[in-house]
Amino acid sequence: MTETAVQPHKKLDLSGEVCPWPVIFTQKEVKKMAPGEVLEVLTDNLPSVTNIPDALAKEGHQVLATGEASPGVYRILIRKK
Partner 1 sequence: MENFLVDIPWVLQHRGDPGLRLVDLRRPADYLGGHIPGAVNIPIGEVLHITGQVAHVPPAERFAATLGARGISNDTHVVAYDDRYGTYACRFLYTLDLYGHTRMSMLGVNFDRYQGEGHPLETGTPAVPRSTYTPRTQADRLATKADVLDRLKDPGTRLVDTRSPQEFMMGHIPGAASLPWMSLIAPDRLYRSPEELRALLREKGVTPDREVICYCNMGMTSSHTYWALRQAGYPRVRMYPESYTEWGMDPTTPKE
- Cα 26 from Cα 52, distance rounded (Å): 7
Among 50, 57, 68, 73, binds partner 1 (CB under 8 A): 50
Which stretch of DSSP H or E encloses residue 76?
strand 73-79
Using alpha carbons, list the distances in angstroms from residue 23 to 1, 5, 7. 28, 23, 22
Among 4, 46, 57, 68, binds partner 1 (CB under 8 A): 46
Of the residues 19, 24, 57, 73, only one is catalytic, namely: 19
Between 19 and 32, name the residue whose CB sits nearer to partner 1.
19
Site residues (vs partner 1, CB under 8 A): 15-21, 44-47, 50-51
